[in-house]
Amino acid sequence: MPGERTCALSIAGFDPTGTVGMPVDLRTFTHAGVHGLGVVTVVTAQDTIGISGVKPMSDDVVADQLSTLLGDVDPAASKMGMLWSPSLASVAASAVDRLGHLVVDPVLVSGSGSRIIDQALDEIYLTELFPAAAVITPNRAEAGLLVGTEVSSTADAVEAARRLLEFGSQSVVVTAGGPGQDQADVIATVDEIEVVETTRHDVPSVRGSGDTLSAAITAGLALGWTASVAIRRGIIVTNRAIERGVESMLGSGRPSAMQSQNDWLTQ
């Protein structure tokens, strides 16, 4: 009898450049040896410089994608990225019991750090999605919005991670700051808080780095790794992708994280 294929699901937006959102998630899953599934929440018109348009899927379309897919295939783990609206997030939240190990990457800000999502969505993250999550992966700007305070230093990130952990997720990863800020990821669990120093690059924020990390963690959970192992190996994979992306430009905008399958073969 054939073996069951290990699958991970991305619930996220589509980016035509392939450097953020679902394309990054699916590529990450593939590099990790996990079959990628996808439910599209928004379609964007964008390049490496910025976004010129966003077309969200209707709640019914997202609900239909989820119910049809999950009626046939059971993902071992799932990642939620761009959810766009409170009503669409509620549709995604209604399926959490069927998503396997859940990673929530709360997309709230643009690459410049400006809020792009209705504040009403924060409450759904805090009350419906975080309690169901194995891991949540906000960056510093997003963590600050969720806890209602500025997060501009590693000390701030440690306190934000502690506060976010109170909303019920098993692990919190607050990812490093942008240029001009100290560079460290903060990992928080009920047992400990760990600060992981990262390499500083003298470039604008790298496109797709947060997506790469959250997708790598999701792939690790799908493979049966513990959350602790998936997070630490995910950080290694992401840092390598950032270093490679800084050295290899796509388009004329910000550099983009660029993975290699070899990064996974060494894990």
CA–CA distances in Å: residue 167 to residues 77, 126, 136, 208, 211: 20, 6, 11, 26, 22
Closest residue by Cα to residue 210 from 119, 120, 143: 143
List the domain boundaries for the chain.
7-251
The H helix count followed by the E strand count for the chain is: 9, 9
pLDDT tens digits for 95-150?
999 999 999 999 988 766 677 788 889 999 999 999 999 999 999 999 999 999 99
- What letter would DSSP give residue 252? S
User: pTM of the entire structure?
Assistant: 0.95
pLDDT tens digits for 187-246?
999 899 999 987 777 666 788 889 999 999 999 999 999 999 999 999 999 989 988 888
7-251 CATH: 3.40.1190.20
